[in-house]
Structure 1
C-alpha cells in the first residue's frame, strides 16, 4: 500500500530534485482525488434571476421600512393636536359659619401654535420623504453594483478554473507521451522530470482556481440566502461587453440621475423648511381655554386666552443654527457633486481601459501566443525544439489567457456598474 508523505516532510528529508519529482507524482494523482470528492448539487443562476431578488434583500427591505416611516411622519405632522382636559377637585371649609362641601372644576385647552407651524412642518416632512426615496434608490443601486461584481467575478472564476482544467489535461497527456518516448529510449529522463514538474505546478494552479471559485460561489450564495456550500454556476457570456457611452453623456446622466444629487437636493429642502419653521416659531404660542367651576356658593363658566411671553429671547439662536446647517448642506452638496463627477470619470476610464485591454488580448496577443504554442508543439514532436522552449511558449499563452479573463471581468464589472449608477430609475 502506498504511503502518503507531505511535501514539507519530503523537502526536509531528501534532495530538492527528488522532492520536485515526488510532488509532481502527487499532483498527477490530484485530478483523480479531486474527482472523487463529493460535489454539491450545481445550481445555475443568471443575472435576471439575481436582479429579481434584489427587493427581498435585507438592506433594501430596511430602506423600504425607513421610507414607510418617513411617510407616516408626514401624516403625523398634518394631524391637528388634541386638546388638553384638566380638572380640579377640592374640599371646601368656610372660615365662618357654613357647611363644608366638595368643589370641582373642569377646563379644556386648545393649542393654536400648530396653525402657524403646520405648513413648514409638513413641507419638511415631505422633503424627508424625498430624501429617503433618494437614499433608498442609492442603496438599491449600491446593492445592485455589489451583486454585479459578485456575479461577474464568479463568471471569471469559472472561466479560469475551466481553462486550467483543460490545460492540466493537456499537460498530463504530454507527460504520458514523454514517458513513452523515454521508455522507448527516444527521450531523455530529464525531460520527463521537467514535464512532471510542470504538470505539478499546473495542478496546484488548478486547485487554487477551484478554491477561489468555491469562495466566490459561497459569497454569492450567502447574498442570495442560500447555503454557503451551494455550487452556483453563473450563466453568462463573459466576452459580450456592454456598449460604452461617451464621457460627456456619462457626466450629463450623473448630474441628472445619480441618486446622490437627488438626495442632496432633498436634504436642502428639509433644511430650508427647518429655517422657515424656526422663523415662524418667533410668533408667540397661543392657546384658548374654556372652563367650568362648581363651588359651594356659586357656579362659574368662562373662557381664557394663554400667550407665550417672549421675554428673554426671540429664538434668534435656533434660527442662526438652522441657517448655518442649511449653508453647510449646500456646500456639502457641491462637494458631493464634484465627488460624483470624479467617480463617474474614474469608472468610465476604468471601463474604457479594461475593454480596450481585453480587445488587444483577443485580437493581438492571444492569436500570437496560440500560434507560438502550436508551432513549438509541432517542433517538439519532430525533435526540432526542446521541452523548455515548449514550456516557455505554453506559459506565455496561459499568462495571456489569464490576463484576458481578468480584463474581461474588470470591463464587465466597471461598465455595468457605471450603467446602473447612471440609470434614470433604480434597477
Structure 2
C-alpha cells in the first residue's frame, strides 16, 4: 500500500510538471499585446533610423571641435653639402637648414567658422527632433489604421455570420417549399459578397500589421497584437495659442532658422577669406663655419583670388534659406489650420454617429431580424436594414480614424512629447 501511494504521488507530480511546462509554452507562444505608448518607446529606443539621426547630431557636435582646432605647425628639415669654388680655399662641409612655420588663426577667420559650426549643430539637433516627431506621428497613424482595420474585420465577420445564418434559413424554407428558389439565389449572392468583404478585411489587417512592424522595427514580433486605445482625445488648445507656440518651438522651423544662421556665418567666413593670412616663420642654418637664425612673418596676399565664386554661392544659399523659411512658416500655419478643421469635422461626425445614428441602425436591424424569424419580414427587409447599419458602422470607424489622424497631425506640428 505505501508503494502504491508513492507511485500515485510520482504520477501526480509528473502530470503537474507536464501541465506547468505546457502552460509556460502556451504563455510563451501567446501573442504580445502592446499599447501605443509601449510601441512608441520601442521605436524610439530601437529604431535604426532614429539612431542614424542621433549620429548626425554627434557628427555636428564633432564639427564644432574641428572648427575650434588651431592649425598645426609645419617643420621643415633640409640637409645638403657645401662645395667651394675652384678659387676658394674653404674646405668642403655639410649644410643643414631647420625651419618652423606656424599659421595664425586670425579672429576674422576663426569666429565665423566656429559660429557656423555651432549653427550647424543646432540645425542637426532640430532635425533630430523633427524626425522624431514625424516618426511618432507616422506610428500613431499606423497604429490607429491597424485598430480601424481590426474593427472592420470584426464587423465583416459579424456580417458574414449573419448572412450565413439567413442563407441557411432561406435554404431550408426553399426545400420545404415555403420560399421560391429565387430567394435562395439572392441569399447565396449576399453570402458570397459578405465572405468576399471578410477576406478583404483580413488582408487589410495583415497589410496594416506589416506597415506598423516595418516602422517600429524587427524587434517587434510578428505575432504582436495592439491594445485598442479609446478614440477619446482632449480638445486641443485654441488655434491662436497653438499657432504662436508652433512659430516659436516647431523643430522644423528651428532647423531652418539654424541653417539660415549657418549660411550667414558661411558668407561672413568667405568674405573674411579676402583678408590676408599670416604665419610666423623661424629658420636656422647650420654649416661648419656659421650658424644663422632668422625669424619673420609670412603673409598670403589675396592678389588674384577675391573669393568671388564662394561668396556668391554663400549669398545665394542664404537667400534660398530665407525664402524656404518664409514658405515653411506659411505652410505650417496652413497645415495647422487644416488639421484643426479636420479635427472639428471628424469630432462632429463621431459625436453624431455615436450619439444615435449607429444605435438606431442597430436597433432597426435587430427588429428586422426578430420580425424575419417570426415571419413578419422578408429576406430583403433584413438585407436593407443590415446595409443601413453596415454603412453607419463603417462611417463611425472611418470618422474615428480621421479624428485620430487629425489629432496626430496637430501633435506632430506642435512636436509634443519630443
TM-score by length of 1: 0.84
Query: 2:389: which partner in 1?
Result: 397
The counterpart of 2:78, out of the listed 73, 76, 88, is 88
Query: 1:69: which partner in 2?
Result: 59
Contact 1:161–1:213, Cα closer than 8 Å, also in 2: yes
Query: 1:137: which partner in 2?
Result: 129
The counterpart of 2:40, out of the listed 48, 51, 56, is 51
Contact 1:238–1:409, Cα closer than 8 Å, also in 2: no
**Number of residues of Structure 1 aligned to a counterpart in Structure 2:** 387
Deviation at residue 340 of structure 1 after TM alignment: 1.1
Over residues 19-72 of structure 1, what are the superposed CA-to-partner deviations in whole Å (9 max), with x where a residue is unaligned? xxxxxxxxxxxxxxxxxxxxx963312111111122421221111101001111
Deviation at residue 418 of structure 1 after TM alignment: 1.4
Residue 251 in 1 paired to residue 240 in 2?
Answer: no
Residue 42 in 1 paired to residue 31 in 2?
Answer: yes
3-state SS in 2 of match to 1:231: coil
The worse-fitting range, judged by mean Cα deviation, of 339-348 and 167-176 is 167-176
Identify unmatched segments of 5+ residues in structure 2.
1-28
Deviation at residue 116 of structure 1 after TM alignment: 3.4
Contact 1:218–1:228, Cα closer than 8 Å, also in 2: no
CA RMSD of aligned residues (A): 2.2
Query: 2:162: which partner in 1?
Result: 170
Contact 1:80–1:114, Cα closer than 8 Å, also in 2: no
Contact 2:73–2:103, Cα closer than 8 Å, also in 1: yes
Q: Distance in 2 between matches of 1:330 and 1:144?
A: 28
Q: Distance in 1 between matches of 2:384 and 2:262?
A: 66
The counterpart of 2:363, out of the listed 358, 368, 371, is 371
Where in structure 2 are the equivalents of 1:197-208 lying within 5 Å? 197-208=189-200
Contact 1:85–1:108, Cα closer than 8 Å, also in 2: yes
Deviation at residue 259 of structure 1 after TM alignment: 1.2
Query: 2:304: which partner in 1?
Result: 312
Contact 1:218–1:227, Cα closer than 8 Å, also in 2: no
Q: Distance in 2 between matches of 1:319 and 1:227?
A: 49
Q: Distance in 2 between matches of 1:168 and 1:310?
A: 83
Query: 1:79: which partner in 2?
Result: 69
Distance 1:267 1:229, change over 3 A: closer
The worse-fitting range, judged by mean Cα deviation, of 311-320 and 345-354 is 311-320
Residue 232 in 1 paired to residue 224 in 2?
Answer: yes
Identify unmatched segments of 5+ residues in structure 1.
1-39
Query: 2:19: which partner in 1?
Result: none
3-state SS in 2 of match to 1:186: coil
Query: 2:275: which partner in 1?
Result: 283
The worse-fitting range, judged by mean Cα deviation, of 332-341 and 109-118 is 109-118
Query: 2:144: which partner in 1?
Result: 152
Deviation at residue 306 of structure 1 after TM alignment: 0.5
Q: Distance in 2 between matches of 1:227 and 1:294?
A: 69
Deviation at residue 210 of structure 1 after TM alignment: 0.6
Deviation at residue 238 of structure 1 after TM alignment: 4.3
Residue 182 in 1 paired to residue 171 in 2?
Answer: no
Contact 1:112–1:287, Cα closer than 8 Å, also in 2: yes
Q: Distance in 2 between matches of 1:114 and 1:65?
A: 31
